[in-house]
Every structure is written in structure tokens, then in C-alpha cells.
Amino acid sequence: MSRRVLYDASCGICERFARLMLHADRARRLEFLPNDDPSLWPPGVDATLVERTIVVIDPRTGIFTTRARGIADVLAALPLGRPLALALRLPGLSLLAGAVYDVVSRHRRSISRRLGLAACGLPPRTGASPLA
């Protein structure tokens, strides 16, 4: 395993992202864990942080990344994700990716509901999801 990923399992788009990444992770380099167990949090991570962002941990070093940089680290663990991860780390583009991540993160529950996905423990809307 190269990365441990703490994510909001009650968030529909977060759950969908986790499922997609696990499906793409044939080498099993990623471990996705719900962010609600403080015993899994490395030093420096608290409830405020895990409520706002994905937390991606390198279990060998304990170093963690968040926000768009965390997404880049998840993608970097996947063979086909490496070029996109590199692009997300480029100056300028990393700032834009961070801003987009922040907007999506702040509105993830309403975005999830609009896409027909579960949000905040609410079941998904009935009917076909556009991302199913």
C-alpha cells in the first residue's frame, strides 16, 4: 500500500471517487477509510481538517497531503493517473486545482444530492444516477 486515504464516506461524490479509484487500483496501492475514526488520523490531523478535505497519508513517513494535492497523490498511485497527478502539481495549475477543490468541497453535499447520490447519510434519490 502506498497511500491511506481518509474521506467523507457520507458524501456521495466522495464515495463515488473512492469507488472509481479503487476500481482503477489494480495493484492495491490505495486504502480508502472513512474519516470518522480519530485513531486513524496521523499527528496534525483533527476533526476540523477531515471535515473539510480529503487526507492522503504516506504510511511509511506519516506525511499527509490534503485538498487538490491529496487528489494528485491518489492519482499518482495509479499508473494511468500519473500524468494527471503531475499536471495537478504544476505551478499555476495547482492553484486553480486547489480553488476548484475548495468550491466542490464546500458544496459537496448539495452537488451529491443534485447528482442523485447519497449525502450526509441521506439515501440517494430514486431514479437512475447520471454517474452510475
pLDDT digits (tens, 9 = 90+) for 27-76: 999 999 999 999 999 999 999 999 999 999 999 999 999 999 999 999 99
Q: What is the pLDDT of residue 43?
A: 94
Spatial CA neighbour of 107 closest among 120, 92, 94, 95: 120
Spatial CA neighbour of 30 closest among 75, 60, 66: 75
If you average pLDDT over every residue of the chain, what do you get? Answer: 89
Q: What is the pLDDT of residue 118?
A: 75
Contacts of 25 (CB under 8 A, 6+ apart): 77, 78
- The span from the CA of 20 to the CA of 130, in Å, is 14
Q: What is the pLDDT of residue 51?
A: 93
Convert 48-67 to b/e letters by CB count within 10 Å (16 or more is b): eebeebbbbbeeeeeebbbb
- pLDDT of residue 6 exceeding 80: yes
- pLDDT of residue 126 exceeding 60: no
Q: What is the pLDDT of residue 119?
A: 66
Q: What is the pLDDT of residue 79?
A: 87
Q: What is the pLDDT of residue 124?
A: 47
Mean pLDDT, rounded, for 103-126: 77
* Predicted confidence band of residue 128 (pLDDT cuts 50, 70, 90): very low
pTM of the model: 0.85
